[in-house]
Structure 1
Amino acid sequence: MQAIQYQAYGDYQENRLVELERPQVKDGDVLVQMRTVGINPLDNTFRSGHIYLATPDKLPRVGGQTGAGVVVESRNPAYKAGDRVFVAWPGYGLAIDGTWREYIAAPAAALSPIPEQVNDDDAAAFLAGAGYLSGYLALTEFAKFKPGQKVLAPAIGSAVGMETVQVARRLGASMTISTASTTEKAERARAAGYEHVIDLSRESMKDGVLRITDGKGVDVMVDGVSGNLTGQALGSLAFGGTVVVVGYAGGRKAEVDITDIIWKGATIRGFTFSMFKLEQIVAARQALWGYLNEGALQPTIAKIFALSDAAEAVRYLIEERPFGRVLMQVAR
């Protein structure tokens, strides 16, 4: 079978197309033919060697953390051949071989049925980037979100930004705010139904938040950008507000005004999936699949690449910062 495998840590070209043996299915497991897989910024972070997990013993590694596929063989009563399934499991593409391959032998706990009305591409987009899962856990577990609160999630085109906004709406936020780096992207987001999008080419995030909230600020910020926005994030909070730092697409260094932390009684939380128990992640995914099934979440696709174009697909996600998720088609 074909797969995308890292044989060394390095640039995009380390996303190598290789031929591997089709996996054997053990008792209790399920063999899934992958159809569409998602790309997560963490895939790039790991392959480039910029995370603590990127140690020599982790190589070679098949990339990919999530995807959608169809069961072709089952040794578990929960699934039968022909079932369409979401595929996601802690450690895929990092600690153990992931989803960027034609076939994967997975434990039944790594699978969940795809609703009939959701196609394979939308299913893969739902998981790609882990934005829905990150946003849900950040809001419910860290920020202790309450209905009626105001939520800020910068970078409307990104997984964390776009999907946290959708989750916050479903949880009952009174207002959701995001940002866009250009006027074109801000206008596109508003046309897609995201009412409060700050155009960073015209005003700062802090000024925009205070304008939209009549000077009151937001109760929660889920930040997948960091860098230069971190200081503005703290300045955008209401008293007693919380910032949950999920990522650092905008840079690892930040300058902050310490009085924004003290005088606002602010809470800052760092986010990583390793902080959660498996049962918390499983419960969160179940809740999110329910929201998807009821139509409350709308996965957005920017572009779909062939599996053989993995290097360019990852580059496109990281450097072009598209509006929506980037996927790779494995089979049809």
Structure 2
Amino acid sequence: MKAIRFEQYGPPEVLALVDVEEPHTGPGQVRIEVRAAGVNGLDWKIRAGHMRQMIDLQLPSGTGSDASGVIDQVGEGVSDVEVGDAVFGVGVGVLAEYAVLDAWAVKPDSLSFEEAAGYPIPVETAFRILDQVGVEPGHTLLISGASGGVGTAAVQIARERGITVVGTASPANQDYLRELGALPTTYGDGLVDRVRALAPNGVDAALDVSGSGVIADCIELTGDPSTVVSIADFTAPRLGAQVSFAPTDISAALRAAAALHVEGVLHIPVESRFPLADTAAAQARNEAGHAAGRTVVVVSGGPGAT
């Protein structure tokens, strides 16, 4: 089968489309014919070598963790799905024609394969950090970097829970945040004053999704370092803030996201699409940031590949 691999750390150009052996399921796994794969920031950070102290990667390696597709193999012990089911979930090296998933949920008919491919890590992260920061109905939450995949999911989930959201994004994405239900503002100098003007009764908690050096501002706004959680700035604990990195129950998060989509609550638009052979360009697009939504690699067509 065709798959994306890289033999050394480096820029996007180290990625290559090559022929490899097909993967097969182990116990508790499913294999899918991949329809689409989401591109996450972690993908290019691993490829560039930024995570080598945290992730023991054996080269050559595949890339990508989030995918959607149709099951064609079911491993021992799996009873909730069967061959032919459309699912979306998380695996290793999913930028390929076939991929094995370790966690998944059934894809609703109303959710396209392309959009579903962009859900797994962003929605699991959004659920996890919202729970970790402890916001409740009636609270006001600041989300720094609210227009990307995690931010988009977090805004919508928080709003559904009755939480007021102030979100930061580039000037071009202010209307996008407004459409999601957030009170939008730009990042950069003067952030504290702009947020206070939007939330005169104060901010109860803050999420740093983009890692753009906002931890001190977030703490100033909430007044309590323990009410600030970052997924991108690993220096946050030096100021008393929290960092969230390890996924929890991915399958449960995916099932919850599917239910919210069916209810009309959750929608994460696909901002840009690339064919499998152009995965390098897809990762470069993700690395550039400022996207309103998700970057997705379209791997194959097939029945229901909408």
Fold-level match, TM-score > 0.5?
A: yes
Alignment of 1:83-162 (within 5 A): 83-89=85-91, 92=92, 98-107=93-102, 110-127=103-120, 130-140=121-131, 142-162=132-152
Give the ranges of 4+ consecutive aligned residues of structure 1 lying more than 4 Å apart after TM superposition: 25-29, 238-241
CA distance in 2, matches of 1:273, 1:217: 30
Alignment of 1:133-212 (within 5 A): 133-140=124-131, 142-173=132-163, 175-182=164-171, 184-190=172-178, 192-200=179-187, 204-212=190-198
Flag the 1:172–1:29 CA change in 2: closer, same or farther, 3 A.
same
Report the counterpart of residue 330 of structure 1 in structure 2: 299
Which one scores higher on RCO, CA 8 angstroms, separation ≥ 6? 2
Report the counterpart of residue 257 of structure 2 in structure 1: 288
Report the alpha carbon displacement of residue 121 of structure 1 after superposing the two structures with TM.
1.1
SS at match of 1:231: helix
Alignment partner of 1:226 is 2:215? no
CA contact (8 A) 2:66 2:118 kept: no
Aligned length: 298
SS at match of 1:309: helix
Flag the 1:132–1:26 CA change in 2: closer, same or farther, 3 A.
closer
CA contact (8 A) 2:6 2:16 kept: yes
Report the alpha carbon displacement of residue 238 of structure 1 after superposing the two structures with TM.
4.9
Report the alpha carbon displacement of residue 111 of structure 1 after superposing the two structures with TM.
2.4
CA contact (8 A) 2:159 2:181 kept: no
Report the alpha carbon displacement of residue 291 of structure 1 after superposing the two structures with TM.
1.9
CA distance in 2, matches of 1:31, 1:195: 38
Alignment partner of 1:33 is 2:33? yes
- Percent identity over the alignment is 25
CA distance in 2, matches of 1:124, 1:65: 10
**Structure 2 length-normalised TM:** 0.88
Report the alpha carbon displacement of residue 187 of structure 1 after superposing the two structures with TM.
3.0
CA distance in 2, matches of 1:53, 1:316: 24
Report the alpha carbon displacement of residue 28 of structure 1 after superposing the two structures with TM.
5.7
Report the alpha carbon displacement of residue 34 of structure 1 after superposing the two structures with TM.
0.3
Runs (5+) with no aligned partner, structure 2: 302-306
Report the alpha carbon displacement of residue 115 of structure 1 after superposing the two structures with TM.
0.8
CA distance in 1, matches of 2:11, 2:211: 23
Runs (5+) with no aligned partner, structure 1: 93-97, 262-266
Superposed CA RMSD in Å reads 2.5
Alignment of 1:42-81 (within 5 A): 42-51=42-51, 52-55=53-56, 58-75=58-75, 76-81=78-83
CA distance in 1, matches of 2:31, 2:196: 52
Report the counterpart of residue 84 of structure 2 in structure 1: 82
SS at match of 2:192: helix
Give the one of 239, 245, 261 matched to 1:272: 245
SS at match of 2:118: helix
